[in-house]
Amino acid sequence: MAKKYRISDKFALSEHIVLFHGDCLDLLKKIPDESIQLIVTSPPYNIGKEYEKKLELQMYQEQQAAIIRECVRVLSPRGSICWQVGNYVDNGSIIPLDTILYPIFTELGLKMRNRIIWHFEHGLHCSKRFSGRYEAIIWFTKSKNYVFNLDPVRVPQKYPGKKYFKGPNAGKYSCNPLGKNPGDIWSIPNVKSNHVEKTEHPCQFPVELIERLVLSMTNEGDWVFDPFLGTGTTIISAIRHQRKGAGAEMVSKYIDIARNRIDKEAAGTLRTRPMNKPIYDPKEAGNNLTISPWTTEQNNVQLSLLNKK
Ligand SMILES: C[S@@+](CC[C@H](N)C(=O)[O-])C[C@H]1O[C@@H](n2cnc3c(N)ncnc32)[C@H](O)[C@@H]1O
């Protein structure tokens, strides 16, 4: 995208990009009813990150409810809300946040369409439970008549050469030439230290994750809004596909990062991991770190025997 848009700090429907430094409820107050097509966000998880104060869980739920209520007010009748969350952890016991936030959405009359599992390979190594390698995106719509464009987000089939073997179409290719539905388990690398998109923010989501939501749940010219904007990922995903983007962020250093990334995106110089790029396979790439230094000659012999069996 070569166009350079003005970045406004106040919301107006005539703007293209709104970057608000402050509390999302203050920005939400300025957004007209039913004007936003997609709200996508990753809120604080209440786990004591540098940008949040750990609260009693009930207080956290109440804060989230106040923001979600306002989001529903500004959501267009054909619009979608996607809340991307992981676990709240208390004394080693986990509570998946989507389980405690789900009732807030349904009590406001929203309908759940998918619980998308975002799977990734890297993260903390746990010693007293299995290491967490997924988070969820809970997707709700305001009505039955919601925007859903599958074609722009189709992915390659496993067997594109497959044909019908009987019936009136026997001998014809059975797959959709545009690809298949990506399903509800998405394997997309998370933004860790060697990811091309990494900034100093501790919890960015990757642009490609949000692009898929933007492309499937909005049309060109629609508004996409993120109440917890962080480094601006949602706005970047929106403007990359000719949508309008708005978001709020409380911390000024993240606002600076977001502004810088949005400027780069507008100039066509922001480096991101491309959508649908296959996951890096170190073995296939011949990375010699995949050779275990602990594998002894004897283990090798035993392994080869097992393989033969
Ligand atoms: C999980 S991070 C979101 C990161 C973002 N998805 C990205 O890709 O960079 C949550 C962000 O919400 C911000 N935040 C927390 N409470 C807020 C509020 N009431 N209004 C606006 N921003 C808030 C935090 O400073 C933090 O940067």
Within 8 A by CB and 6+ apart from 153, the residues are 182, 212, 215, 216
Amino acid at 6: R
pTM: 0.93
Greater confidence (194 vs 253) lies with 253
pLDDT in tens, 78-92: 999 999 999 999 888
Going by C-alpha positions, the residue among 234, 218, 81, 83 that lies closest to residue 149 is 218
Q: Which atom of ligand 1 is nearest to the CA of 226?
A: 6
Q: Which residues, judged by CB distance below 6 Å to any ligand atom, belong to the binding site of ligand 1?
A: 23-24, 42, 44, 51-52, 201, 203-205, 228, 230-231, 233, 248-251, 254
The band of 3, judged by pLDDT with boundaries at 50, 70 and 90, is: low
Closest C-alpha to ligand 1, atom 5: 230
Distance 186 CA to ligand 1 centre (A): 23
Q: Which atom of ligand 1 is nearest to the CA of 206?
A: 8
Among 226, 250, 255, 265, name the best residue to mutate to test ligand 1's pocket (greatest count of ligand atoms within 8 A of Cβ). 250
Using an 8 Å Cβ cutoff, are 39 and 225 in contact? yes
Model pLDDT, residue 308:
67
Model pLDDT, residue 1:
45
Going from the N-terminus, what domains does the chain have, and what CATH number goes with each? 7-308 (3.40.50.150)
Question: Which residue in the block uniquely carries the two structure tokens 């969350």?
Answer: 85
Distance 291 CA to ligand 1 centre (A): 40
Closest C-alpha to ligand 1, atom 24: 51
